[in-house]
Chains A and B, each alone.
Chain A
């Protein structure tokens, strides 16, 4: 089967819950199955996205809600993170020059850069009802193909 129903989890906006979100995504990714590297990429991208939501969109508030849903369709593994915090325009953040970053011993500001490196698509939008949505897509053309129609077994 190449399509799964979306699976979802709702969390309060505490850093204590980021690990739960990582585990939630990892478990689904392993069942696809995606390989260890792809699973790690998904865990890290979710960690970075959710940490940014808690620390920046919710400015450290720990009593707000974050919803996370996962869909797998064809070769696309899609994670939607939605919240009611402050919006973020990725275009407002300049590209990171890693050589400069390292030379200047900068700290912080690598989350979005990492997410873009790890994922095939990273998109920030606002829904018609005002909810902020972060969409992360990882493709896995190397993953196990869906069974052919009529194939034995």
Chain B
């Protein structure tokens, strides 16, 4: 079971995710990101504070949307990623693909810096 909450921040739209992201919940994860994109928000912060587990299926969702978001002039920033989850991002070198921030505010502010 995955819970997704959307919030507006100053320079970005925040998608707060809670639950384990695996092959069973990856569809919900993708649906949440695509709903934000479809609403016209391409500066997106993914808040992973409440995600204790992610498998390669979950990382595949991020890979599948990133190009579309960047081609549209936006980006995906990762906020509050738990250490063990970050370790998997790092193990698969997804840390070269995304920027990571300790707080949602810092991630949102990163959009202002690049605007």
A106 to B92 CA separation, bound complex (whole angstroms): 12
Please report the total number of A residues contacting B with Cβ < 8 Å.
28
Q: Complex formed: what's the CA distance from A15 to B97 in Å?
A: 28
State in angstroms the CA–CA spacing of A105 and B69 once bound together: 13
Tell whether, in the assembled complex, residue A107 and residue B63 are in contact, meaning their CB atoms are under 8 Å apart: yes
The answer to whether the Cβ of B100 comes within 8 Å of any Cβ in the partner chain is no
**How many pairs of A and B residues are in contact by the CB < 8 Å rule?**
61
Which partner residue on chain A sits nearest B53 by CB separation? A43
Give A107 to B55 CA distance when docked, in angstroms. 13
Q: Is the CB of A19 within 8 A of B92?
A: no
Q: Fill in one digit per residue for A71-85: 1 if any B CB lies within 8 Å of its CB, else 0.
A: 000000000000000
CA distance A22 to B54 in the complex (A): 12
Within 8 A of B (CB), among A13-37: 15-16, 18-19, 22, 36-37
* Overall SS of chain B's interface: helix
**Separation in Å of the B14 CB from the closest CB of chain A?**
24
CB pair B60 A108 closer than 8 Å: yes
CB atoms of B88 and A107 under 8 A apart:
no
Which residues on B sit within 8 Å (CB–CB) of A48? 55-56
B56 contacts A114, CB within 8 Å? Answer: yes
Residues of B within 8 A of A113 (CB): 92
The reply to whether A110 and B92 contact each other, CB–CB distance below 8 Å, is yes
- What B residues does A106 contact at CB under 8 A? 63
> Does A87 count as interface, using CB distance less than 8 angstroms?
no
The digit string for B74-115, where 1 denotes a CB below 8 A from any CB of A, is 000000000010011001111011000000000000000000
Q: Which residues of B contact A43 (CB under 8 A)?
A: 53
Q: Scoring A residues 36 to 69 as 1 if CB is less than 8 Å from chain B, else 0, what string do you get?
A: 1100100110011001001100000000000000
A9 within 8 A of B: no
Q: Which of B20, B23, B64, B93 has the most chain A CB atoms inside 10 A of its CB?
A: B23
Complex-state Cα separation, A47 to B52, whole angstroms: 14
Q: List 8 A-B contacts (CB under 8 A).
A: A16-B24, A18-B24, A19-B24, A54-B23, A98-B92, A102-B94, A107-B64, A110-B92
Residues of B within 8 A of A (CB): 20, 22-24, 53, 55-57, 59-60, 63-64, 66-67, 84, 87-88, 91-94, 96-97
Q: B-contacting residues of A (Cβ < 8 Å)?
A: 15-16, 18-19, 22, 36-37, 40, 43-44, 47-48, 51, 54-55, 98-99, 101-102, 105-108, 110-111, 113-114, 117
CB-based closest 6 A-B pairs: A110-B56, A15-B24, A98-B93, A51-B23, A40-B84, A107-B60
